[in-house]
Structure 1
Amino acid sequence: MRIGLLGTGPWAAMAHAPALSEHTGLDFVGVWGRRPEAAEELADRHGTRAYDDVDALLADVDAVAVALPPAVQAQLAVRAARAGRHLLLDKPLATTAEQGRAVVDAVREAQVASVVFFTSRFLTRTDAWIAEQAGAGGWFTGRAAWLGSLFGGDSSSPFADSPWRREKGALWDVGPHALSVLLPVLGDVRRVAAAAPGPGDTVHLVLDHVGGASSTVTLSLSAPSAAEGATVELRGETGVAVLPDSSETTVSALVRAADALIDAASTGRPHPCDAAFALRVTEILAQAEALLEGAAG
């Protein structure tokens, strides 16, 4: 599969470009970015070509990977799908339901494959745990906490100055991770029963799932570095299950996501983390955001 990369920021450089370069089933054709000099630098590092024009890149590939802010990603994903290109996208798919629906509609109309990179779903041990708990069933409640220290005051992360993260906060940055684990196990969210703010960009959610279970979710990018980490705990008829740690790298997880895209494109079978699933995550986060804004107003 010939694939191009849209985006040249830290995430593209740290994760996407290395994964596309090392994947034996991909021909990494080139890079396009909003900053041509960054595209040149990233392309040179990985022995591929920099493109000045996004449509020229789309003309030379079968698929694109996107590492751009969600609103920009959504626009370019629609453009790529309409050009008949398969999509390896990032979370969140978009930051409004309307943007997300536009991507899903374009994917459906063009009959292209889509995979959205929810990191946890492409970690081998984590994915196996999710499948095991989904098969067990009988869950009464769940609790998820995704805490980062990006805005904690002592962060040296290159993502700390990300404008969209500064604007949208933990709800949209790490919220998709929590939902990607909870939804396959507890079922879709019937409603966001409550949403409340905490320190910094911290938010607390109470979710009502269609299967009858409830869950609570705490999200933050403002935690002290000593407090950061991700936990998921489920309680039900079979007892207590806790999300295991994983030592896999992001690059290896992205390689698995590319595997999933190749499979979906060749078989026509949608992947569980396709654009439609990512849209549902976007809709849930938008509901939570509306509740938070209502409480603030």
Structure 2
Amino acid sequence: MRIGLLGTGPWAEGAHAPALSEHTELDFAGVWGRRPDAAKELAGRFGTRAYDDVDALFADVDAVAVALPPGVQSELAVRAARAGCHLLLDKPLAPTVEQGRAVVDAVREAGVASVVFFTTRFQAVTEAWITEQAAVEGWFTARAEWLGAVFTTDSPFGASPWRREKGALWDVGPHALSVLLPVLGDVRRVAAAAHGPADTVHLVLEHTGGASSTLTLSLTAPPAAAGAAVELRGEAGAALLPRSPEGAVPALIRAADALLAAARTGRPHPCDAAFALRVTEILATAEGLLSEERP
């Protein structure tokens, strides 16, 4: 499968480009970016071609991987799908439900495959844990804490305009939901949403499986307090999400495997654009409640 990369930022440079280059069943065919000089530099480092015209890239490849802000991603994903390209996307799918639905509609109408990269769902240890817990009955409640220090360290993602605008809810909220939804069921209701320090938010969710969950999300945690944790409690006792020893590159290689399988078989992957749209809908509902809570 010939695949192109859209994006030249730190995520494209540190995760996507290495994963596409290392994958044995992909031909990393080119890079397009909003900064042509950065596209040329990244393409040169990985021995591929820089494209000035994104539509020319679409015409030359079978699939695209996207490492761009969600608003840009959603627009280009629609164009890529209509050009017949399979999609390896990132979370969040889009900054609004309307834009996310446009991606899902384009994927369906074009008959292309889609996979959205929720990191925890593609790391071997955590993926196996999620599958195992989803088969357990009687979960009563869960708590998820995703505490990042993006804005309190020299993280290369700290200057990201969309993260500054949307905060932890939209950046790490998808990670928490990607773990909770397959285990506890869809969200029936966002029961409460409240602000914490800086961009920190707290959510209370009711799930279709009967359980409730609480989420604490932040990108402004003190560095010593940063980390992620998920705890489930129910009839079987308690279960904690294990730590994964893998970084983003091996997980992205597995996400590419999933895209190849979906393209070959026509069977949607559980983390496809439709799942990512559902995550977007939940985030948008929570965002609405938070806007009501803060004058």
When the two structures are superposed, what TM-score results if normalisation uses the length of structure 2?
A: 1.00
Q: How does 1:156-175 map to 2 (within 5 A)?
A: 156-175=154-173
Partner residue, 1:37? 37
Cα distance in 2, alignment partners of residues 137 and 120 from structure 1? 22
* CA–CA distance in structure 2, aligned partners of residues 296 and 132 of structure 1: 39
**Partner deviation per Cα, 1:75-128 (whole Å, 9 max, x = no partner):** 000000001100000000001000000000000000100000000000000000
State the alpha-carbon separation in 1 of the partners of residues 273 and 116 from structure 2: 6
Residue of structure 2 equivalent to 1:121: 121
Q: C-alpha offsets along residues 256-293 of structure 1, whole Å, 9 cap, x if unaligned?
A: 00000000000000000000000000000000000000
Per-residue deviation, 1:61: 0.1
Q: CA deviation at 1:22?
A: 0.3
Q: Which residue of 2 aligns with 1:53?
A: 53
1:95-106 matches, cutoff 5 A: 95-106=95-106
- Residue in 2 that maps onto 1:291: 289
CA distance in 1, matches of 2:93, 2:51: 24
Q: Alignment RMSD, CA only?
A: 0.4
Identity, % of aligned pairs? 79
* Residue 130 (structure 1) aligned with residue 130 (structure 2): yes
Q: Aligned pair count?
A: 295
The residue that corresponds to 1:6 in the other structure is: 6
How far, CA to CA, are the matches of 2:290 and 2:116 in structure 1? 26
Do the aligned residues in 2 keep the contact of 1:16 with 1:251 (CA within 8 Å)? yes
Residue 58 of structure 1 and its aligned partner are, at CA, apart by 0.4
Structure 2 letter corresponding to 1:184: P
CA distance in 2, matches of 1:137, 1:10: 41
Do structure 1's residue 74 and structure 2's residue 61 form an aligned pair?
Answer: no
Counterpart CA distance in 1 for 2:28 and 2:137 is 41
Given residue 223 of structure 1, which amino acid in structure 2 is its aligned partner?
A: A
> How far apart in 2 are the matches of 1:193 and 1:95?
22
Q: Is the 8 A contact 1:137 1:185 kept in 2?
A: no
Residue in 2 aligned with 1:217?
Answer: 215
Q: Which amino acid aligns with 1:4?
A: G
1:120-173, Cα deviation, whole Å (9 max, x unpaired): 000000000000000012100000000011112xx1111010000000000000
1:266 corresponding residue in structure 2 = 264
Measured in 1, the distance between the counterparts of 2:276 and 2:137 equals 23
SS in 1 for 2:151: coil
| Structure 1 CA distance for aligned equivalents of residues 204 and 154 of structure 2 | 32
Q: Separation in 1 of the partners of 2:150 and 2:119? A: 18
Match of 1:184 in 2: 182
User: Where does structure 1 lack aligned partners over 5 or more consecutive residues?
Assistant: none
Question: What residue number does 1:198 align with?
Answer: 196
Unaligned regions of 5+ residues in structure 2, if any?
none
* 1:228-243 to 2 correspondences below 5 Å: 228-243=226-241
Q: Please state whether the residue corresponding to 2:135 is helix, strand or coil.
A: helix
Mapped partners of 1:64, 1:98: distance in 2: 22
Instruction: Output one character per residue of 1:164-221: Cα deviation in whole Å (capped at 9) or x when no partner.
Output: 0000000000000000000000000001000000001000000000111000000000
State the AA in 1 paired with 2:188: R
Residue 249 of structure 1 deviates from its aligned partner by 1.4
**The residue matched to 2:146 in structure 1 has which SS?**
strand
SS in 1 for 2:224: helix
CA distance in structure 2 between the partners assigned to 1:157 and 1:199 by the alignment: 19
Ranges of 4+ aligned residues in structure 1 off by more than 2 Å: none
